[in-house]
Amino acid sequence: MTNEALKAIITELLPAATFEESGQWLTIYVAPSDWHLLAKKLRTEAALLFDFLTCLTCIDWKTHLTMVYHLDSTKFRHNIVVKSKLGADNPAIETVSDIWQTANFHEREVYEMFGVNFINHPDLRLLILPDGWEGKKPMLKDFEDPINMIRL
Amino acid sequence: MVEEIGRTADGDIIINVGPQHPATHGVLHLVITINGETIKKVEPHLGYIHRSIEKMCESLTYRQFIYVTSRMDYLSSHINNHACALCVEKALQIEVSSRAQVVRILLDELTRIASHELWWGAMAMDLGAFTPFFHAFRERETINDIMEETCGARLTMNYIVPGGIMQDIHPNFQKRIKDFIKLYKSKISEYDELVTGNIIFQNRMKGVGYLSAEDAISFGVTGPAARGSNISCDVRKIYPYEIYDQLEFVEVLETGCDSFARYMVRIREMNQSIRIIEQLVDNIPEGDFQTKTKAVLKLPKGEFYQRVETARGEFGVYIVSEGGTTPYRIKFRSPGFSNLSALDHMARGSKLGDLVAIMGTLDLVIPDIDR
Amino acid sequence: MLSFSNISKSIDTWLNATFNSTWTMLFEMVIAGVGVISLFAILGLVLVLMERRVAAWIQIRLGPNRVGPGGMLQSLADTVKLLVKEGMTPDGADKFLFNLAPFIAIIVAMLLMAPIAFAKNFQLWDMNIGVLYVTAISSIMVISILMAGWASNNKYSLMGAMRSGAQIVSYELSAGLSILAIVVLSGSLNLNDIIQSQADGWWIFKGHIPVIIAFIIFIIAVTAETNRAPFDLAEAESELTAGFHTEYSGMKFALFFLAEYINVFIVCAIGATLFLGGWMPFHIGNWESFNHIMDYIPSSMWFFSKTFFLIFLIMWFRWTFPRLRIDQLLNLEWKYLLPISMFNLLLVTAMAILGWHF
């Protein structure tokens, strides 16, 4: 499906969404509050069927955080990128682990590394970091740890 | 944290499998709840080998960061390097000479065979048969020797640079690959005799760790694990990179959805890799092995995503560039991390002995999961 | 002629001539005890080395070849290492039972040596219920494993012990039933009588198909009873790290280890005695000249070569097969082996009554 067609369908689903086409794939910007609703529609809409959440991550832009979701459809093989801008303090977005089960682990990773709070996540605990690292957010740009140096 | 010692309120026993356990092949820590021999819950605790490679890469240049990625999935390190180089080349629009492309693919497929062979041996060992491990290593050593001669390394190859390969191939390269193919073809029937056809083995694998196609997609399972559930997800076929679209090979699919299907996918996939190698080994084009690139690479501002098929599934590199010499943010979408998330779903209700069969056929490599 | 029976007879005569009967008895007991213990040590060393060499041969590698000529002293070196290692007792363990368990294992193995006929007229205790004695004593083995698993206060150990308990108790049934087949045919529980009944041919050759079935079931069942792969669920290292002996170290672990190998030797010796004629040379019916040639090979040689052939068979299993799962293991016994061996026993009984064997 071409980017134009995708755009048309997604605009229909969520009129508030904005698009960017400069990258490899169509990029959609949504507000955190709209995301869960749109995700459900992207997953179930017959013409889209984005059933495969390839990659879920977060980028720290110092002033704000951006959640990035790479979606793929195993039936139609079209890809989109969904981005959502979160505030730097108390970033929160609704979980999509009920839609794509793989998001469960990926969101836990983002939670501990970036401190993003995933609302309604079934099991939001540290996954990779050891106990006692709650709230340290090591992947943020301003994180420095003099003992366990990560930055080379 | 759950209470890791003792019992749950229902009287089920909680046991820790790992981080030092013979079946986890690394430092994976699973907290499993069992009732007698039946598994009720599997909860992975990760991070024992987390090195924060993504954060490290933020202070490495685009030439340097490729070498770190060898340390993630060390069994398909060459393919990891390949993904990173492809991503950088895509961003800079570097044309790679056909000679370099062919050599890259040859080594990709050799890596895949080596990885599957190690998996085959290790998985049989998990199931209690020790001998296959040594038989698998006999062939794997031959591949490692080819790697050593051409790349200078046996495990973490670091042979790929943006723009091509680091140095030209060794004069023996083609001859030794042909020798390997001959060896492999004479020995592959032993694999079937020793393990695949064994009735005990088949009973241990069939119907164990059922993963339906819907669940596999939902959990983001890729690679042979997903192809065992009849999902077409081979990146080499669906999003071809390099010259994979010009090669003849079949995407191996099995419909069993169980451990045995995943096992058969890997065994058959090795034959497909051999097929690819046979097509290329005599047709390595002459020419430059490396395109001239600037000493310091600067990626344009933007975002770049490249996916490749490693031995374990879809590996994705996501580079966010601000136009500097180092990436602003790098995310590695590792296949093992997503595949592991399906473990709990697959293992519930099966016996403790099945857990090793399921983990074996997911082919977990712990540094790949932790990154 | 220098044979085991002649040596033992001459010692006996000399002792009787020198001391009175009480002292002779005592001395003979001491000699037998020392003999059994040294046989233990030698068997342990030989079997461990043999296992490693067989494994290496199957796995296309060399195996131990550094210590001593051809690696012969490797297991001796391992023993020394195990002897000087600290025998740890975990804090939460039941210390008495924990320390008792390995000794029970080894004592059971020692007791099983008594009725085995190593050569012609060379036996520690020629009792008239030899077969019954062996089956009865070998069941005590499970107690030591359960004891070890329970007293270790470790979940892996406990699970290993429970698996082992279920396994040994079930497989004893079909092992016993397949032994009964031979008892029915030879009409005696005395191991010597059973060997004598094979003077014109071993039971495996002259007993038709039912005895071959019994032999196969016997081999499967004793492999399971000695916790060897593919039935090594009690110590399945990829599932339970080391099963019931997870917490054991040093000499206490070595005793378990030794007991396992001795048990393998004993069950193979019993198998060789019942099915392959023990020390009885290879005889065919009444081919007198052929049988005489066979008699020139010493009886102890026959016994040990048969036993070691069976041991090799069990080692071959171990290094070839993957492990069964616990439910498959019990299914195999209760749904297949037990009904088959029961029916087989019936068949053998009919055969024995009608005299359909040679």
Q: Among candidates A68, A85, A112, A130, which has minimal Cα distance to B329?
A: A68
- pLDDT for position A151: 61
Q: Alpha-carbon distance B5 to B7, whole Å? A: 7
Pairing label, strands A26-30, A18-20: antiparallel
Q: Does B218 touch chain A (CB under 8 A)?
A: yes
Which of chain A's residues have a Cβ under 8 Å away from the Cβ of B302?
22-23
What percentage of chain B exceeds 70 in pLDDT?
A: 98
* C204-225 pLDDT tens trace: 777 678 888 888 999 998 888 8
Report yes or no: C154 and C90 within 8 Å, Cβ to Cβ. Answer: yes
Identify whether B110 is part of a domain: yes
The pLDDT value recorded for residue C1 is 54
Per CB-CB distance under 8 Å, the chain A contacts of B231 are: 74
Give yes or no for a contact between B103 and B260, defined as CB atoms under 8 angstroms apart: no
**CA angle (A20, A26, A28) in 5-degree steps:** 60
Residue among B243, B240, B225 nearest B95 (CA): B243
Nearest neighbour of A55 by CB, restricted to B217, B316, B341: B316
Span C282-309, mean pLDDT? 81
Beta bridge partners of B13: B7, B34
Report yes or no on B6 lying in a domain: no
Q: Chain B within 8 Å of C2 (Cβ-Cβ)?
A: no
**Terminal-to-terminal C-alpha distance of chain A:** 43
Q: Taking CB atoms and an 8 Å limit, are C155 and B15 in contact across chains?
A: yes
| C chain contacts of residue B204, beta-carbon cutoff 8 Å | 322-325, 328
Whether the per-residue pLDDT at A152 is higher than 70: the answer is no
Token reading at C104: 């029970």
The residue range of the domain holding C274 is 88-354
Q: What residues does each domain of chain A span?
A: 3-119
Asked if B13 lies within 8 A of C155 by C-beta distance, the reply is yes
Per-residue model confidence as pLDDT tens digits over C89-143: 888 788 888 888 888 888 888 888 888 888 777 777 778 888 888 888 888 888 8
What ranges in chain C are assigned the alpha helix state H? 4-18, 21-58, 74-84, 95-111, 130-138, 141-151, 155-186, 191-196, 203-206, 208-225, 237-240, 250-275, 288-295, 299-320, 326-331, 338-354
Residue C249 lies in a domain: yes
| pLDDT tens string B280-307 | 888 888 888 888 888 888 888 888 888 8
The answer to whether C292 contacts chain B (CB < 8 Å) is no
Residues found in chain C: 358
Q: Is the dihedral of CA B112, B114, B120, B123 positive or negative?
A: negative
Report the mean per-residue pLDDT for chain B.
86
Taking the CA atoms of C331, C332, C335 and C338 in sequence, report the sign of the dihedral they define: negative
Per-residue confidence at B10, pLDDT binned at 50, 70, 90?
A: confident
Residue-level pLDDT at B1: 38
CA distance A128 to chain B (A): 4
Task: Give the pLDDT band of residue A19 (cuts 50, 70, 90).
Answer: confident
Residue B2 binned pLDDT confidence (cut-offs 50, 70, 90): very low
**What average pLDDT does the segment C241-245 reach?**
80
pLDDT of B48-88, one tens digit each? Answer: 888 888 888 888 888 888 888 888 888 888 899 999 898 88
Specify the number of domains making up chain C.
1
In this predicted structure, the answer to whether residue B176 has a pLDDT above a threshold of 80 is yes
Chain A hits for B55, CB-CB cut-off 8 Å, are: 138-139, 150-151
Average pLDDT across chain C, whole number: 84
Cβ atoms of residues C163 and C234 within 8 Å = yes
Helices (H), chain B: 53-57, 65-69, 77-92, 98-126, 131-151, 173-191, 199-205, 213-218, 224-227, 235-238, 259-281, 335-341, 343-347, 352-362, 366-370
Q: Is residue C71 part of a domain?
A: no
Candidates A54, A105, A139; nearest CB to B341? A105
Q: How far is B27 from chain A (nearest CA, A)?
A: 12
Residue in A closest to B322 by C-alpha:
A61
Physical contact, A and C (3 or more Cβ pairs within 8 A): no
Weakest mean pLDDT among A103-107, B193-197, B271-275: B193-197
pLDDT for res C2 = 65
Give dist(CA C36, CA A58) in Å, integer: 71
Interface A-B: count of C-beta contacts within 8 A: 95
Chains that touch B (3 or more CB pairs under 8 A): A, C
- Helices C299-320 and C21-58 pack at an angle, to 10 degrees, of 40
> What pLDDT is attached to residue B238?
87
Cβ-in-10-Å burial (0-12, 13-18, 19+) of C270 comes to: buried
The answer to whether residue A150 scores a pLDDT higher than 70 is no
Residue C201 falls in which region: left (phi positive, over 0), alpha (psi -120 to 50) or beta: left
Q: What is the ipTM of this complex?
A: 0.87
For residue B280, the model assigns a pLDDT of 87
Show contacts of B233-242: CB within 8 Å, 24+ apart: B233/A74, B233/B313, B233/B314, B234/B309, B235/B307, B235/B308, B235/B309, B235/B314, B236/B308, B236/B309, B238/A77, B239/A77, B239/B307, B241/B86, B241/B306, B241/B308, B242/B86, B242/B96, B242/B101, B242/B104, B242/B105
* Total tally of structural domains belonging to chain B: 1
Q: What CATH homologous superfamily does A3-119 map to?
A: NADH:ubiquinone oxidoreductase Nqo5 subunit (3.30.460.80)
Residue C317 within any structural domain of the chain: yes
- What's the gap in Å between the CA of C8 and the closest CA on chain B? 44
Q: Using CB atoms, which residue from B21, B138, B351 is nearest to C325? A: B351
Average pLDDT over residues C294-303: 80
CATH code at B362? 1.10.645.10
Averaged confidence pLDDT in chain A: 83
Task: Indicate yes or no: CB of A129 within 8 angstroms of CB of B338.
Answer: no
As a whole number, mean pLDDT of residues B167-179 equals 87
For residue A9, the surrounding DSSP H or E stretch is helix A3-13
The answer to whether position C51 is within a domain reads no
